Amino acid sequence: MTEATRTGPMLAADGTPLKRSLQRALRAQKLRALMLIAPLLAFILVTFVAPIADMLFRSVENQIVSDTLPRTAQAIRGWDHNSGEPPGDDVLAAFTIDMIAAVERKQHTRLGTRLNYEQNGLSSLFRKTGRGVADIGETYRDQFAALDPAWKDAGIWANLFADPSWRADHDAWEAARAAARTAGRPFAEPVPAFRLNDDLADVLPETADAYLDFARAVQGNRNGDPAARAPWPPVYLALYRDLTAIGVGRIATLDAEAQALLDPAHYAVRSFERADLAAIYRDIDRAWGQPTVWATIQTFSPAYTPGYFLTAVDLKQTPDGIVSQPADQKIYIMLFQRTLVMSLAIMAACVLLGYPIAFLLANLPLRTSNLLLILVLLPFWTSLLVRTSAWKVLLQQQGVINDILVWIGIVDNAGRLILINNQTGTIIAMTHILLPFMILPLYSVMKTIPPSYVRAAKSLGATNWTAFWRVYFPQSVPGIGAGCILVFILAIGYYITPELVGGTSGTFISNRIAYHISSSLNWGLAAALGTILLAVVLALYWTYDRLVGIDKVNLG
């Protein structure tokens, strides 16, 4: 062997470096393994991981405010919520257009529900405002119409604001419809999607923007024709605002047709009677006259919010920063603590009760132990609800256990024990339900411990206790670890048993999550609570791994 080959890379038979050749072989192997699990992996990703990730994502998602009120969210940024005054006309006008568009899409009540999580009363406020907002701008509509009846004509509006290419498409569509009608054929062709005239949008930005929303809403709602419906009154408000804001020179850049319509209007708006937006909103509901509602909208206008997470830990996001919830409404931290403490108690009870049974199972002759195993598994196969209801019959004050205790004379009739609808009930019922999850891993680990070890210890002079504690027990620890992890993780997310036997003091955080998912519909908060619960479980798992080592866990 030469010096060069000794220090150079080791080569395989075909001359490639051995390392690379090995990697290639391994990669092929890994790929094959991956291909084998691919169907399951894809299935789990699609049906399990993705929905959970999507659900958890809702805990920070808050697009609904900026999607429903895009102009308001923009306009309200500059407003100072500490000014003591509600925002000015710019914000109110933006809000009016946003609201009418939202009402048309039936989004405003949804937004009201969302914002009601942050401030009571907004749900009905938005519902009420939705009913009144369509009238805002009517004064301007009437004044424009008085000036020139053309302003009430749907076709003229569409012509003014549409791109010439859309007008051509629309004319063709109308011709096709007329032809179909005379021929008696059905006509289901949709109206061409509205396109805005960019020149006009430069000159009259607010109006064009509002009109575009109007046209889209009309088209979206059972495929209407924007050229057949006069715009919403709030669009006239936008027109008024645009015309009062621009100089006459801007209109001169437009085509003759538009000039003929806009020039007189531009001249006339100066003498128009003004509508007092602030007063109109105060009339709809006096809440709009106060800064608090606006401050809530401002605070929750960003697309992502920490609000749900803050609520989940008994804090609250306000315009002035994060504050603590009022003391009499704090429940979540307490529920998290209770869930953890009770799950640990249930886990401990399962170890204490499960260990001797598993020991017996592992050490009795096969025939007896099989019978015992069936007794362990029988309740395991019984419906969860049946078992929980059975516990109700047993534990209630007029139930079997109390009756027996009274009959024996251990407790007297007036002092019957309260064993259900409190934490005791939850711990008893859940320990029973989760016990098989402790016994089975313990049993399978104990089965593998050779009896000769204990015999050897005893032959060397160990007492029964020493032989058990120093020799047998350490070998069964992996089973305890596995059982504990199983029981604890199942317990922490348990929902139906605490709901039925837990009363008020024995319910878990999962009961609140279920409440927010199916009753209050506050999915954001439910997602935040769920995320925290998941994080707690992962943190505990990690701690367990650091302290005991997850490789020591043995499911048998």
Partner 1 sequence: MTIRGLLSATALVALPVAAMAQDLPPCENCANSMTVVSWGGAYQTSQIKAYAEPYAAMTGVSFTWDESSNEAVAKLRAMNEAGNITWDLVDVEGPDSQRLCDEGLAMEVDIDEILAAGDDGSTPREDFADSVVNDCYIPQIVFSTTFGYRTNVAEWEGRTPDNLCALFDLENFPGKRSLEKRPKKNIEWALLCDGVEKDDLYDVLSTQEGVERALAKLDTIKSETIWWSAGAETPQRLADGEVVMGSTYNGRLFSVIVEQNQPVDMLWDWQVFDFDGWIIPEGLPEDRLNRVLHFLHFATDTQRLADQAKYISYGPARASSQPLVSTHADLGVEMAPHMPTNPENQKNYLVNNIEWWADNQDDVEARFQAWLAQ
Residues at the site binding partner 1, with contacts judged by CB under 8 A: 105-107, 109-110, 112-113, 116-117, 120-124, 127, 325, 328-331, 334, 392, 396-399, 421, 499-500, 503-505, 512, 517-518, 520-522
Torsion of CA 318, 321, 325, 326, to 10 degrees: -80
Q: In the complex, what is the shortest distance from the CB of residue 92 to partner 1, in angstroms, rounded to a whole number?
A: 23
Q: Cβ of 456: how many Cβ atoms within 10 Å?
A: 13
Nearest partner of 472 among 495, 492, 456, judged by Cα: 456
Q: Measured between alpha carbons, how far is residue 304 from residues 62, 307, 319, 387, 488 in Å?
A: 5, 9, 15, 43, 33
Given a contact cutoff of 8 angstroms between Cβ atoms, the answer to whether 140 and 207 are in contact is no
> What are the φ/ψ torsions at residue 319 (nearest 5 degrees)?
-55, -25
Residues in CB range of 352: below 8 A, 6 or more apart: none
End-to-end alpha-carbon separation of the chain, Å? 52
Give whichever of 335 and 361 is closer to partner 1, judged by the CB atom.
335
Q: In the complex, what is the shortest distance from the CB of residue 109 to partner 1, in angstroms, rounded to a whole number?
A: 4
Q: In the complex, what is the shortest distance from the CB of residue 527 to partner 1, in angstroms, rounded to a whole number?
A: 13
Give whichever of 14 and 328 is closer to partner 1, judged by the CB atom.
328
Q: In the complex, what is the shortest distance from the CB of residue 110 to partner 1, in angstroms, rounded to a whole number?
A: 5
Give whichever of 195 and 330 is closer to partner 1, judged by the CB atom.
330
H or E element at residue 273: none
Q: In the complex, what is the shortest distance from the CB of residue 341 to partner 1, in angstroms, rounded to a whole number?
A: 14
Q: In the complex, what is the shortest distance from the CB of residue 396 to partner 1, in angstroms, rounded to a whole number?
A: 5
The structure tokens listed for 93 are 């006008």
Q: In the complex, what is the shortest distance from the CB of residue 291 to partner 1, in angstroms, rounded to a whole number?
A: 19
For 475, the 3-state DSSP assignment is helix
Give whichever of 81 and 516 is closer to partner 1, judged by the CB atom.
516
Q: In the complex, what is the shortest distance from the CB of residue 246 to partner 1, in angstroms, rounded to a whole number?
A: 37
* Chain CA centroid to CA 511, Å: 16
Give whichever of 272 and 523 is closer to partner 1, judged by the CB atom.
523
Q: In the complex, what is the shortest distance from the CB of residue 490 to partner 1, in angstroms, rounded to a whole number?
A: 21
Q: Measured between alpha carbons, how far is residue 76 from residues 95, 322, 383, 430, 531 in Å?
A: 9, 20, 56, 52, 32
Give whichever of 163 and 403 is closer to partner 1, judged by the CB atom.
403
Given a contact cutoff of 8 angstroms between Cβ atoms, the answer to whether 277 and 285 are in contact is no
DSSP letters, 271-294, are GSPPP-HHHHHHHH-GGGGSHHHH
Q: Measured between alpha carbons, how far is residue 123 from residues 63, 100, 129, 198, 490 in Å?
A: 18, 16, 10, 37, 37
For 323, the 3-state DSSP assignment is strand
What residues pair up with 162 in beta bridges, in sequence order?
196
Give whichever of 205 and 306 is closer to partner 1, judged by the CB atom.
306
Give whichever of 305 and 396 is closer to partner 1, judged by the CB atom.
396
Rounded CA separation 253/266 (Å): 14
Give whichever of 45 and 460 is closer to partner 1, judged by the CB atom.
45
Nearest partner of 387 among 433, 323, 440, judged by Cα: 433
Q: In the complex, what is the shortest distance from the CB of residue 433 to partner 1, in angstroms, rounded to a whole number?
A: 18
Positive or negative torsion for Cα 459, 461, 464, 468: negative
User: Largest Cα–Cα distance of the chain, in whole Å?
Assistant: 114
Q: In the complex, what is the shortest distance from the CB of residue 333 to partner 1, in angstroms, rounded to a whole number?
A: 11
Give whichever of 212 and 335 is closer to partner 1, judged by the CB atom.
335
Give whichever of 284 and 500 is closer to partner 1, judged by the CB atom.
500
With tokens 């016990």, the residue in question is 435
Residues in CB range of 431: below 8 A, 6 or more apart: 346, 349, 350, 353
Give whichever of 328 and 551 is closer to partner 1, judged by the CB atom.
328
Q: In the complex, what is the shortest distance from the CB of residue 450 to partner 1, in angstroms, rounded to a whole number?
A: 51
